[in-house]
Amino acid sequence: VLESIGQIAINVKGTARARDFYRDVLGLRHLFDAGPNLAFFQCGGVRLMLSPPSKPEHDNPGSIIYYKVADLVATHAAMVARGAAFEAEPHLVATMPDHALWMAFLRDSEGNLLALMEEKRPA
């Protein structure tokens, strides 16, 4: 039985550049480096591993990672102040019975598409 995600590998072309982006722009907690090409971060209960593709057949864009945030507008503003370039302003994606789903999309330093998401619930 699968219980949770333990780690996600994210393809990067420049580990040092990507490490700086994930630490300084996204604000994730840097755990450790392993050699010159691996950098590890903590995001909630999931560890992220930044590394160049280990084989040519693994050199492809990654899946979109959706980071949950408590306040999308404030997180968006903080990341823009730290140099993030978003594709658009935060916007409503869908209205569900118990919440409104808001998102904002950006690219990391390696060109991978990322998303911030907030499930806004009525007060």
Whole-number pLDDT of residue 2: 66
Based on its alpha-carbon atoms, the radius of gyration of the chain, rounded to whole angstroms, reads 15
CA dihedral (121, 29, 11, 7) in degrees, to 10, reads -70
Top-confidence residue, 120 or 54:
120
- Band the pLDDT of 69: cuts 50, 70, 90: very high
What is the tens place of the pLDDT at every residue in 35-64? 899 999 999 999 999 999 888 888 887 788
Whole-number pLDDT of residue 60: 82
